[in-house]
Chain A
């Protein structure tokens, strides 16, 4: 069934017998692809089309009126808009970089090192995954208050660093790297650090790329820190600013601005995704893990 390529069992080019696959793939692909189209078309709708009933999926007279309103609103904000952008980019960047390092280290240790309590740590992590995130909000606030991170820029980054889902994925993926490979490296005189950088990380690149995408998502879209832990406006993020625009602006124009804001918030996600997904897919195919 799978991966019989190379044995020339599968045709290399399009063949009539493959049509059945396309019959499944194409409708599913359209279903999953629709939301992207929707985001764009919604942002370009003029006001009258936004209130059309029944709502129409595609825009028929595209216009930039929503964007114009959005930019007008931005210009009238107290804190210059680039400040929000700067905060968002800086916090997202730092969060992603640190998280990837921390997760990779922890995943490596939990997967390839032998020490007591290692299985315990991992099962605690997996169980913690299932706890309702919203319910810990107040205790978390108390902790952040006690540490003294209130009104500190680091509050965007520090609480987001230990990501249970990420560790779960990375550790499981690293488990698939054969121990023999590491032993071979050790025999050839590779240090721990070298083995980690040159063997473990490249082989688990696809799971790390997934972690990058997930972390970026979480960090870029997060409003929790700005909403709860920060009082100064010039420390807050762009995501928060967007959410205030669309929730306080309760007037008729609000929904158009919300759509435009959604598109603006979405584009960095898409860009990061396009960059990283290439990494995810290609290494997956030639990971050499057998």
Chain B
């Protein structure tokens, strides 16, 4: 019995890799590698000719053109960032409200849940473009509403422009909340009812319960929803930035290299936006302990303890084997 055994942890790790493998292969070939090649292309001029793709290196030229020579693209990007900063919190708040109501025991709950999840199947289809063309995404008559017009006149143009955009795409925003409502609902249902009971006994009002019990408990799910929302909105087919990139791709004057550079700029901007949201709402663990330093110490001690335990277990195991032999 002196053959070298594979330890449990390495076997576990190997199984983990094995489980990941099919997915990893597909991901690497069809997603990761193409992304890498657009990165390479963004430093090249790519011309589609009869003999196939003709590529030649141009250095940072594409990026310089994106920022310095392109008339429209920086403007579109700035517009986009503004609208996403506005839209994402609305989606989250809206889905949280709906999820809160749906987690209550009201009549027709199942029906409403289905209905609010429904946009998921429409939003990804080609149908959405048709709706946009027909102007169905706006609330009819909202733009000519005298109250709204007055408000818009008072505000500075940059703010009113955003507001108008918001009104115009309100229905659209609601439509982006399908999956988010679902995720939040599942998080809400996981909250232990006795926590509310305890809070009630201590004299907390429903309002306080919401801020002190509900919100901290669904916080992690909100972060997930945040990422999901930003991603779905910004990789959506009818997004203006994406349509611009797409048209540039097949233009002979600009071509694939230029479009790749644009895509990468957009990608970096997106990462920055997500980073911003993470800074504001990102996961925090301190609130459990109240003190970060203390929490870190605690964590260290726990890890040490665990290591010690593992060591002890291993020793015991070895000894027991020796004993058996």
Q: Which chain A residues have a beta carbon within 8 Å of chain B's beta carbons?
A: 1-7, 10-14, 18, 21-22, 24-25, 28-29, 31-36, 38-39, 55, 102-103, 105-106, 108-110, 113-116, 118, 121, 124-140, 142-143, 147, 158-159, 161-162, 164-165, 167-169, 172-173, 176, 192, 206, 210, 213-214, 217-218, 221, 243, 258, 262, 265-266, 269-270, 272-274, 277, 280-281, 284-285, 287, 289-290
Known contacts: A2-B188, A102-B22. The answer to whether A113 contacts B16 by CB under 8 A is yes
Q: Quick check: which of B57-65, B121-129, B289-297, B307-315 contacts chain A, the rest being far away?
A: B121-129
Which of these, A102, A114, A135, A221, contacts B263 with CB under 8 Å? A135
B267 within 8 A of A: yes
Q: What is the count of residue pairs linking A and B with beta-carbon distances less than 8 angstroms?
A: 278
Bitwise interface map of B from 218 to 257 toward A, beta carbon under 8 Å scored 1, else 0: 0000001001101100110100011001100100000010
* Interface residue tally on B, bucketed by range: 35 or more
Chain B interface residues (CB < 8 Å from chain A): 9, 12-20, 22-27, 29-35, 37-38, 41, 46, 53, 97-98, 100-101, 103-107, 110, 112-122, 124-127, 130-131, 134, 136, 171, 174-175, 179, 182-183, 185-186, 188-193, 196-197, 206, 209-210, 213-214, 224, 227-228, 230-231, 234-235, 237, 241-242, 245-246, 249, 256, 259-260, 262-263, 266-267, 270-271, 274
Q: Are B267 and A106 in contact (CB under 8 A)?
A: no
Shortest CB-to-CB span from B263 to chain A, Å, is 4
Given A35-B127, A284-B185, the answer on whether A125 and B104 have CB atoms closer than 8 Å is no
Distance in Å from the Cβ of B9 to the closest Cβ of chain A?
7
- Residue from B22, B30, B260 with most neighbouring chain A CB atoms (10 Å): B30
Q: Is the CB of A165 within 8 A of B231?
A: yes
Q: How far is the CB of B270 from chain A (nearest CB, A)?
A: 5
How many Å from the CB of A141 to the closest CB on chain B?
9
Residues on the A chain within 8 Å of B210, using CB:
1
A36 to chain B, nearest CB (A): 7
CB distance from B61 to the nearest CB of A (A): 18
The listed residue (B125, B189, B271) touching A285 by CB distance below 8 A is: B189
Q: Which of B27, B53, B113, B114 has the most CB of A within 10 A?
A: B27
Q: Is the CB of B16 within 8 A of A114?
A: yes
Shortest beta-carbon distance from A148 to chain B in Å: 13
B190–A129 CB distance below 8 A: no
A130 vs B271: C-alpha distance when bound (angstroms): 8
With A128-B31, A217-B125 as known contacts, state yes or no: A139 contacts B38, CB within 8 Å. Answer: yes
Contacts A139-B34, A159-B30 supplied; 7 other A-B pairs, CB < 8 Å = A3-B196, A14-B106, A25-B98, A28-B98, A36-B122, A147-B29, A168-B227
